[in-house]
Chains A and B, each alone.
Chain A
C-alpha cells in the first residue's frame, strides 16, 4: 500500500479532468492490461450493450 499513487485534486474542472487522465495513465502503467481493462470495460459496457 506504500506505493500507492494519489490523485492531485484540480482547482478547476478542467484541471481536475486532466489530472485524472494522468493519474489513470500511471495506473495503466503499473497494473496489468487485464486489471485496468476490467475497470475500463465497466465504464464502456455500461453505455454499450
Chain B
C-alpha cells in the first residue's frame, strides 16, 4: 500500500466523536468532535483550560475519556486506552520536556528497547544500530550523527531526535505540544521544514501552539477549543490570526503596534542599584527604579538578566556594589525581601514556582506564612481566605482551593505563582519570563494585572525574551549583554528590532 493511496483514502487518520471528560466534577471536555486526515498539519488552539492538553492525553492514552467514540485509521479505540496501545497504533507525542536519555547516543535513544541483536546472541549489534540510525537521519536530511551523545545537542537537535524516534516507531500521527517554545527563530524554521516533510510522507501532525504566526503559516486546518467545547474547525483559507483569537477568547483584541513609547517616571525612587557585580554573572550594574514603573530587562538568554534579578531578590549573593531600597541601604535576602514588600516570579514555573503535589491553598500559604501566622501557628482560616482571594483576583480555574496545583493547566499554575504575591502588600515585583508556555488570553490577563499593579504604585522589574511583550508593557527598558547594561531605552519610540539589535550588540554610534 502506497503512502499516496493511504493519504487519499476516505478513512480519517483520527476521528473523535462527542468526547466527554471530567476529572473530578466539572467537565473538562464536553461533546468534542475532532478529526484529522493523513498528511495533514492540524493546529489545536485554545486558552488555558480550554481542554487541549486533555484531548491530547485522551488520544495518546495518558488518560481515559468518560464517553465518546474514537477511531484511529478507521479502527475503534476502546474507552480503556493506554499509552502503550497508542504507541503500537502509531501515535507519537513530542513533549515540551523531552524524554530522551542523557548520556546515551542518538542511535541508542532511537532504538531503545528495540536494539538490533547480533544474530543468535543476546548482545546488541552496535554497528548495525548506528548505521540504521544514520540511515534514518540522512533520509530526512538532518545534520546529526548517530553516535552524538544527547548531552552535546542543542534543544532543537534534541527535538529532532524525538521526532526521529517517532518516525522510527512507524508513527502515523505525530503530536507536538508547543514545540517551538524553547527554540530560536532559526531553529523554529528548521522544525517547520521537518513538519512539512512529515506531511509529505503522509504523516499527520497535530500541533499545539500559542504562537499565532506559526499556526497561520503552517496549518492546513485549525480546531479551536473554548471551555472544553469545540468552537470551530477552520479550513486553510479561513485561517486568520485575528479570527482564531476571536474564536479562542470570544473577544476582539486590539491590533498591537510594534512601536512603543517609553516614558521616564518622575516618581520617587524605590530601588537604586549602584555598581552591582557578581563574578562571571554581571558587573557594574547601575539603575534606578521608580514607584509604579515597569522596568523591562532585555537581552539574550545568558546575558545575566536572570542572575541579576536573583541577586536583587536575595537568592544568590553579589560580590560588590550596593543596593538602596526605599532610601535605605539594603542587603538582599529572600525572607527579608518578602517582608520588605518584594515579590518574585521565577522563570521556570514547574521547577521553581509551584509545589505540584500540594493544594492551591498550601502553595499560596507558604509564601504568605508571615500573614497567616500567629506566633508559631498557622491560621487555616486566614490561609483559605488568602487562597480564595487570589483565585478571585486572577480568575483561577477551577476555583477550588483544595485542588492540587500540579493538576492545573500551565496558565492557571502561573496564576497561582503570580496570585500568591498579589494578595500581599507589594512594593516591588520581579518577574522572570512570566508568560512562557501560557496562551494568549492568559497572557493578556497577566499584562493587565501588571499594568494595574503599576498604576497602584507597585514597581515591576520584567525580564523577558518575548520582545513584543517586553516593548509593549515596559515603561523603560534596560538591555543586558554579557553581564553589562549595554543600552537603556528611557524615552521616545522603541521597536522590537531596536531591542533585538541592542541585545546582539549592534548599536548606532557605539555602545552607551
The answer to whether A and B belong to the same complex is no
A contact set with B: CB distance below 8 Å: none
